[in-house]
Structures are given as structure tokens and as C-alpha cells.
Amino acid sequence: MRTAEISRYGSAALWILAVAAVYYGAARLGLLQQLVRGQVTPLWPPTGVALAGLFVFGLRIWPGIALGALLVNASLGPSVLAVLAIAAGNTLAPVCAYLLLRRAQFREELDRLRDVLALVFLGALAGMLISSTAGSGVLVLSGALDASEFWPTWSVWWTGDAMGVLVVTPFLLVLHRARWPHRTGIGRWIEAAALVVGTILVTILATSTTGSTLLFLTFPFLIWAAFRFQLAGAAPCALAVSTLTILAAAREDGPFAGRDLFTNMVTLQAFNGAAALTALLLAAVITERNETHEEIKRVCSRLAEMVAGVEPRERADPDR
């Protein structure tokens, strides 16, 4: 028994360290996409990593989230107390989001419309209020941020964390549940490859051309992904579109050239939010429709079997 307990605790410790490492790596990638050095990050991947990790491994890995947050903020925070407070907020936000979603009976498959809406309102919008409020408040109280900058910083922090949940969490949940499709035909693989390549090329074209109108050329590809591949296609395509658009905003290319930071942030977050919601909501609706059709077929098949079984008995006993 003691050996089994040691093995179990050792395995849990390894998973905690793994989550901390992935959290830290995702944070370093997120910082590469900042629009203003050390200040504005429109997509914060660690929140998505943390929430997905909680769904995969459970609450036992929260120390890994805390450790990763401490390592990230150690080089950014103005003081030790500020770093500890910000790391606490970054840990509590995904944990509270996880508990809210569990209470709402959220399903990781995201195969129902209510699951996507729960992820949006409970996981992204409500849960991330904790990290943005704690982080911005601590920076003001520590003197690292002027009081007049609280709300602009808070809004950027909140939307960045929320986008991490909307874009990164579904992608990681898809990866976790992915299985090699042995019976998939070559035509399906060709279609998937065409979808990925087309999404990337159109997004690059749209973000390299002046004017924000062309950004919406990506939506037919997101719709294609949702219709044909459901969440397995919608989540990766939404992540690719968001990442490429953020990179263009960081370089101030295409629709983000010659505009002030506030305008670029509004355009960027409005587009990325619309793209992610379109892909996820449509994928959930299509999945629900397909499952409803399959259930109707099963019911009709059972009814047909029942009717077929009654008719021979009636012919065998004509006096009934």
C-alpha cells in the first residue's frame, strides 16, 4: 500500500511540474505577441492551458498553475508581494472558472450549444474577472501603475485572459481527445489539408492588406471547418486565425497599420472574438444536429424491429 501511495504521489508531482512547464512556455510565447512591451498582450495562452489542465487532470494540479504563474511574474512584477498577489490571481481565475463550469455540468467535448455558451460566459468572461482585477489592482497599489491607468490595463488584461480561454482551451481539449482515425478515407485527409492551408493563406493575405474588410474572408473557412469537422476543425482553425491576426497587429501590418493602440486593440479583439465564437458555436450546433439525427434513426430502427416482430405473431394467431 505504501509503495502504491508513493507511486501515486510521485505521478501527481510529475504532472504538476509538467503543467508548470507548459504554463511557463505558453506565457513566454504569449509575451512574444505583446503590442506594447510588457504591457499589452491581446491573447494570454496560459489561462487556456490552466483551464484545460484542470479539466484533464482535476484540481490536484493547481500547484502547477501557481508555480508557473510565479515563474512568469517573477521577472515582470515590481515587488515580491506584487508577484505573489498577481500569481494568486492567475491561479484563482482558472480554478474558479473550472468550478463554475463543473457546477454548470460542462462537457469537455463542447458538443452542445450550452457548453460553448458556458465556456464563454462562465469560463472566459466571469472567471477571468479575478485575474484582471487582482493584477491591475496590485499594480496600482504597488505604485507600478498610475490610478488613471487602472481601467485601460484591466480591460486589456481581462480580454487577453478571456481570449486565452476561448481560443486555447478548446484546442487543447481537442488534442487530448484526439484519436488516430484508422478508417478515414484519402478524400477526407485531402479536404482537411486544403482547409488548413486555405485558412492560413487567406488569413495571411487578409492581414497583409490595408483595410479591415478582408479579415472577414476567413469566416467561410471557419464555417467550412465547423460544418465538416465540427470542434476538431473549428478549434485549430480559430487558433490559427487568431495567432496570425495578433502577429500582424504586433507588426502593425495590413488593417493595423497607421492606427493608434486603442483602435487596433478594439479591432483585434472584436475580430478574434467573433471568429472564435462563430467557429465554436457553429461546431456545437452541427454536432447537436448530427446527434439528433442519429438518435432519430435509432428510434425508428427500434420501432421498425418491434413492428416486424408483432406482425409474424399476428399472422400465426389470426383469432387474436
pLDDT at 61 > cutoff 80: yes
- Give 279's pLDDT tier (boundaries 50, 70, 90): very high
Residue 315 lies in a domain: no
Single out the residue of 202, 136, 161 nearest to residue 41, CA to CA: 161
Q: Which range is least confidently modeled, 140-144, 178-182, 200-204, 303-307? A: 178-182
Distance, CA of 85 to chain centre:
25
- Chain position carrying cell 504597488: 142
Q: How far apart are CA 38 and CA 40, in angstroms?
A: 7
Residue 116 to residues 62, 109, 119, Cα–Cα distance (Å)? 23, 10, 5
The most distant pair of C-alpha atoms in the chain lies apart, rounded to whole Å, by 95
Q: Which range is least confidently modeled, 26-30, 55-59, 302-306? A: 302-306
Residue 147 to residues 151, 179, 283, Cα–Cα distance (Å)? 8, 50, 42
Domain span at 82:
1-178+188-307
Single out the residue of 186, 280, 268 nearest to residue 229, CA to CA: 280
Residue 140 lies in a domain: yes
More confident residue, 5 or 62: 62
- Give 317's pLDDT tier (boundaries 50, 70, 90): low
Residue 213 lies in a domain: yes
**pLDDT for 184-200, tens place per residue?**
788 889 999 999 999 99
Residue 13 to residues 18, 56, 318, Cα–Cα distance (Å)? 9, 15, 72
% pLDDT > 70, the chain: 90
- Give 3's pLDDT tier (boundaries 50, 70, 90): low
- Give 126's pLDDT tier (boundaries 50, 70, 90): very high
pLDDT at residue number 258: 83
Count up the domains in the chain and report the number. 1
Residue 158 lies in a domain: yes
Q: How far apart are CA 207 and CA 173, in angstroms?
A: 28
Residue 265 lies in a domain: yes
**pLDDT mean over 76-80:** 82
**pLDDT mean over 223-238:** 95
Written as one string, the DSSP assignment of 85-104 is HHHHHHHHHHHHHHHHHHHT
pLDDT at 100 > cutoff 80: yes
Residue 314 lies in a domain: no
% pLDDT > 90, the chain: 61
pLDDT at residue number 144: 83
User: Rounded mean pLDDT of the chain?
Assistant: 88
Residue 118 lies in a domain: yes
pLDDT at residue number 1: 46
